[in-house]
Amino acid sequence: MEYKDYYDILGVKRDATEAEIKSAYRKLARKYHPDVNKTKDAESKFKDINEAYEVLGDKAKRQRYDSLGANWQGGQSYTPPPGFEQFGFGSSQGGGYQSFNFNGQDLGGFSDFFSSLFGDMMGGGAARAGMGGMNFGGYDFSGAQRTSSRTRRKAQTPPPADLDITKTLNITAKDVFNQKPVSVSFSEMERCTQCPPGGGYCSACGGTGIKNVTKSIKVKIPPEVKDGQKIRLKGEGKTDAYGRVGDLYLILNFKDSEYDVNGTDLTKEVEITPPEAVLGCKKDIVTLHGTVGIKIPPKTSSGQMLRLKNLGLPKKSGGYGNLNAKIKIVIPKNLSQKQIDLYKQLYAES
């Protein structure tokens, strides 16, 4: 849908006072009233003028509209804030307010842009009373004239909005091994569910209709989880004004500096020196199951794997996967001159 610049429509600045907004509305409404102005675009402009004043002439609506920021321009492509997308209450959707009608002439309802932001604040019946009771040059703008041609229709519950949340959760092999709940905290912009019916200032969201909700939950990582796997936490998503609750989806991402994870099997690098690789040695390595001693056979090459059974992650059926010790030959940084000479001798004989 297109963004509507209500300030531009009324020809006022964003810091205009209530009196300035009302004065601008009176002049434009008199100029483009369908009974006065017979130009082709008069009806469309008159409808936009009334819609703009419906917003800027109401403190709560103006505050919510201003919360969108001042960088928008009329006609730009606009996507409603989270939680507002399904709250269209315009006349085409059978909502709580109907179309403008002057002397039996139907001018249509509020725009989709208006509906997406203020549908929840228009509970039915007449438009805001501040627009009524005006008479410009003999043309009656009374609220009674407008509302008398309207018919109330039962408000329909809008279709479910997208209340689900998807987040990425970084985990380690230790998180899976311990089988203890992992804390997850996240923030989401949601439609305020505490705003008073019919509009008015809301202390929970400051009158914007949107608030930042922070959640902290505990998640138990299932065994045999795979990198990129998505798990569902029912009822931990967003909540709308009708009490409907979405789900939270967590995409699990292994981010472990010590282990590579492949199902229930783990791979861990074990560093040894060139002499240890040639002659063989014993090494103590730290695993999830505790410290264990392993034997490095003589003439072991870098990248060679030593499989350690049952030292991996837990399986659903019981037991554990394996731990692969991946050999990495490293050169000591601080070599003595004698050691360097020995390497030279080995190089010469190779």
| 153-168 tens-digit pLDDT | 334 555 556 788 899 9
Using left for φ > 0, alpha for ψ between -120 and 50, and beta otherwise, residue 103 falls in: left
Tokens of 347: 């190089």
Tokens of 341: 């000479």
Predicted confidence at residue 21, as pLDDT, reads 92
The CA distances from residue 225 to 166, 169, 249, 313, in Å, are 17, 13, 14, 10
- Report the C-alpha gap between 35 and 308 in whole angstroms: 89
- Calculate the CA 195 to chain-centre distance: 21
Say if residues 153 and 94 touch (Cβ distance below 8 Å): yes
Predicted confidence at residue 77, as pLDDT, reads 67
- Residue for token digits 């609750």? 245
Predicted confidence at residue 115, as pLDDT, reads 76
Rounded to 5 degrees, what angle do the CA atoms 72, 76, 77 make? 115
- Report the C-alpha gap between 179 and 346 in whole angstroms: 50
Predicted confidence at residue 350, as pLDDT, reads 78
- Report the C-alpha gap between 174 and 178 in whole angstroms: 6
Across the chain, which has 350 residues, the per-10-residue mean pLDDT values are: 87 92 90 84 88 88 80 66 45 39 50 74 43 43 40 47 86 92 83 72 74 86 91 86 84 94 95 94 95 95 95 94 96 91 89
- Report the C-alpha gap between 288 and 223 in whole angstroms: 15
Query: Among 322, 328, 331, 336, which Cα is nearest to 292's?
Result: 322
Predicted confidence at residue 40, as pLDDT, reads 84
Predicted confidence at residue 109, as pLDDT, reads 64
Beta bridge partners of 248: 165, 233
| DSSP strand pairing (165-171 vs 248-254) | parallel
Task: State the amino acid at position 188 in one-letter form.
Answer: E
Residue 215 exposure: Cα atoms within 13 Å on the Cβ side: 18
Radius of gyration of the chain (CA): 34
Predicted confidence at residue 159, as pLDDT, reads 56
pLDDT, tens digit (0-9, with 9 covering 90-100), for 46-102 = 888 988 998 998 888 888 888 777 766 666 666 665 555 444 333 333 333 344 444
DSSP count for the chain of H helices, then E strands: 9, 15
H/E element, 171: strand 165-171
DSSP string, 253-305: EE--SS-EEETTEEEEEEEE-HHHHHH-EEEEEEETTEEEEEEEPTTPPTT-E
Predicted confidence at residue 143, as pLDDT, reads 41
- Report the C-alpha gap between 189 and 166 in whole angstroms: 13
pTM above 0.85, yes or no: no
